[in-house]
Amino acid sequence: MQQIKYIAILGSTGSIGTQALEVIKSHPQLFKVKVLTAQSNVELLIEQALSFQPDEVVIGDETLYQKLKEALHQTPISVKSGMEALCEVVALPEVDLVLTALVGFAGLKPTLAAIKAGKDIALANKETLVVAGELVTELAKQNQVKILPVDSEHSAIFQCLVGEIAPIEKIYLTASGGPFRGKDISFLSEVTHQQALKHPNWIMGAKITIDSATLMNKGLEVIEAKWLFDLSVDQIDVIIHPQSIIHSIVQFQDGSMKAQMGLPDMKLPIQYALSYPDRTQNNFKRFNFLDYPQLTFEQADTKTFRNLALAFEALNKGGNMPCIVNAANEVVVAEFLKERIGFLQMSEVIETCMAKLDFIAQPVLSDYFESDNQTRIFAKELVTSI
Ligand code: NAD
Ligand code: MG
């Protein structure tokens, strides 16, 4: 009989958060929710809290605290707000595993707090590893904390490595290519955020959907993979695979390759991270080969989709450069969603930030916060001046 795992979900109202709750709901004998948090979707957070009865809920936006508190006043659920509360609840003694399903740089502080408290991490929030991968993975090692990938490509690599002790020669991260695969610069100069939000294979939060259209998502995933699997840059390759059936591939030093495959459904990597090292039965739709008579592969077009090349450049440069890229990217994606900037201008702003902001070769934690802040200010100025 397996023990129940007690789980804290940061970002429970988002795409990953809600799918994680579906997984948890169908396995009450395995998982119990202890903490739920969200930034601003207070209505859904209230609904989730009433249904899952966690010990604690946190709302990021402090102006929504009263509303949350009043809605839950007849329950024993403790209600908090703000970033400090987020860092406190991940460290609660009863929590076994923290699912970081919040988006962006905001994940860094609570992830560090959870690792310091010795909690295993189911990591969806890739931005944390992009910004401070070295520091985060080092801290996890010191505290004997597992970082279990939720991102489908990284879950694929992780699953391929089960039982292997031989070194990796290289990995191939697969990418769908997004909604604009095969399009040229003149087409991209005219695209709207509504078009960019229509991903061919996955339904996800707005930020990662735009990142998938620009290929920045794959760039962030290359950096995430470097830190999760302790690889050098030249051990990581990206291959476009439009059907999103092969989720990624490991090549070992004898040339043998292992791939993990299945229908594109984030509930599978979420469930694997929650139940690891076990696998758990479910009723997710199964793959049928005859529905996919052709699985195809292409080279990524980094001349047109500059963001992927910029992410590789940042990783090669190291230091705070990935942090600069991440902050600039968060700004331009938000501005693109508000129609204040065009699709191609997103890469231009990121590239200017990389060239102009202070480079720090060996950053400490406070440098990341400083770099993130400086980059956001500068990137916003650049957007205004366009
Ligand atoms: P989303 O926008 O759907 O949800 C984000 C969640 O984080 C929400 O609950 C929101 O309330 C919370 N949040 C937002 N800003 C916050 C802040 N400043 N402080 C605290 N909480 C905040 O995003 P998503 O698509 O679920 O993605 C979450 C993370 O998982 C991202 O890092 C993304 O790259 C990664 N990821 C997502 C998918 C996917 O299929 N959606 C796949 C792989 C990886
Ligand atoms: Mg992914």
Please state which of the four CATH numbers 1.10.1740.10, 3.40.50.150, 3.40.630.30, 2.30.30.20 is assigned to the domain occupying 318-386: 1.10.1740.10
Secondary structure class of 176 (helix, strand, coil):
coil
Rounded CA separation 316/348 (Å): 19
Q: List the beta bridge partners of residue 261.
A: 246
Question: Looking at the CA of 215, which ligand is closest?
Answer: 2
User: For the chain, what are the domain ranges?
Assistant: 5-149, 158-263+289-313, 318-386
DSSP state string for 85-97: HHHHHTT-TT--E
Please state which of the four CATH numbers 3.40.50.720, 3.40.640.10, 3.40.50.1820, 3.40.50.150 is assigned to the domain occupying 5-149: 3.40.50.720
Quote the pLDDT of residue 386: 87
Quote the pLDDT of residue 202: 86
202 CB less than 6 Å from ligand 1?
yes
- Cα–Cα distances in Å, from 121 out to 96, 111, 146, 386? 9, 8, 6, 40
Report CA(183)–ligand 2 centroid distance (Å).
Answer: 21
Contact 260, 156 (CB under 8 A): yes
- Cα–Cα distances in Å, from 327 out to 38, 242, 285, 315, 320? 21, 28, 37, 15, 11
Residue 242 tokens, joined: 């439009």
110 CB less than 6 Å from ligand 1?
no
Report CA(151)–ligand 2 centroid distance (Å).
Answer: 5
Question: Looking at the CA of 269, which ligand is closest?
Answer: 1
Rounded CA separation 162/158 (Å): 7
Residue 226 tokens, joined: 């470097």
Quote the pLDDT of residue 151: 98
151 CB less than 6 Å from ligand 1?
yes
Rounded CA separation 67/282 (Å): 36
106 CB less than 6 Å from ligand 1?
yes
Cβ atoms within 10 Å of 104's Cβ, excluding its own: 21
Rounded CA separation 111/115 (Å): 6
Contact 194, 172 (CB under 8 A): no
Secondary structure class of 203 (helix, strand, coil):
coil
Q: Is 144 exposed, middle or buried (0-12, 13-18, 19+ CB in 10 A)?
A: exposed
Tens-digit pLDDT string for the chain (386 aa): 578 999 999 999 999 999 999 999 999 999 999 999 999 999 999 999 999 999 999 999 999 999 999 999 999 999 999 999 999 999 999 999 999 999 999 999 999 999 999 999 999 999 999 999 999 999 999 999 999 999 999 999 999 999 999 999 999 999 999 999 999 999 999 999 999 999 999 899 999 999 999 999 999 999 999 999 999 999 999 999 999 999 999 999 999 999 999 999 999 999 999 999 999 999 999 999 999 999 999 999 999 999 999 999 999 999 999 999 999 999 999 999 999 999 999 999 999 999 999 999 999 999 999 999 999 999 999 999 98
Quote the pLDDT of residue 277: 97
Secondary structure class of 320 (helix, strand, coil):
coil
Burial 277-294 (b: 16+ CB within 10 A, else e): eeeeeeeeeeeeeeeeee
Report CA(11)–ligand 1 centroid distance (Å).
Answer: 6
Quote the pLDDT of residue 1: 58
Q: What is the pTM of this model?
A: 0.98
